[in-house]
Chains A and B, each alone.
Chain A
């Protein structure tokens, strides 16, 4: 398996622009997570999907952030409008809740977002 695939790897945009981050989880994994990592706040959970349904979005910072999972193999995280304080590395991660090894979270390579 190719692992969790995220795109783009790097994104540089100007304040006020819309940003869309993409994620393809590992095939067969039914849980998907979006995390944000910054020096100040570390790894923060933004949103959690189970079987394509958003279960917990309490970590989404504000209404400018939205996430979707239209099917089991694709998820997006959108920021509109983007602000400089959104600059961070955004990780997508997936896990299977159906196996005994369901404690293991697999992370994608991340998207380094810079908002100027």
Chain B
């Protein structure tokens, strides 16, 4: 099976930087994804790392270390609209298994 650990909550002010860590245990690892979900909404894809290193997409970056079974999502220049839940997910063949999610609250 798969297991993922990520912090349950993070609070920060507008303009700040937030890092959400994710550690995982799985067999047959393909890659690590990140999804964002606003209250009452659907999860939406943010990023995917199959190889070690940093992937940057605008204000968001994602990092993976396969040897450490560890990754993180970096949110920069936080905006109020970034208040949401963020899920890491491991892909094992066809299956995508999600962590419990990190609720990010951005304060003015």
Contact = CB atoms under 8 A, between A and B. Distances in A.
A55 B94 contact: yes
A91 interface: yes
Contact of A45 (B35, B43, B48, B97): B97
A103 B94 contact: no
A110 B42 contact: yes
Interface string B72-108: 0000000000000001000100111111110000000
A31 B94 contact: yes
A14 interface: no
A105 B100 contact: no
Interface string A100-111: 000111111110
B50 A107 contact: no
B95 A45 contact: yes
Given A105-B45, A110-B42, A43 B98 contact: yes
Chain B contact residues, majority secondary structure? strand
B44 A43 contact: no
A50 interface: yes
B95 A56 contact: yes
A48 interface: yes
Given A104-B45, A107-B44, A42 B98 contact: yes
Contacts of A110: 42
Interface string A51-63: 0000110000000
Nearest to B98: A43
Given A42-B101, A43-B87, A106 B45 contact: yes
Contact of B42 (A48, A50, A97, A107): A107
Interface of A: 31, 33, 42-43, 45, 48, 50, 55-56, 91, 97, 103-110
Interface of B: 30-31, 33, 35, 41-45, 48, 50, 87, 91, 94-101
Given A103-B91, A107-B43, A109-B42, 16 more contacts: A33-B96, A42-B100, A43-B87, A45-B95, A45-B97, A48-B94, A91-B42, A103-B30, A103-B31, A103-B33, A104-B45, A104-B48, A105-B43, A105-B96, A109-B41, A110-B42
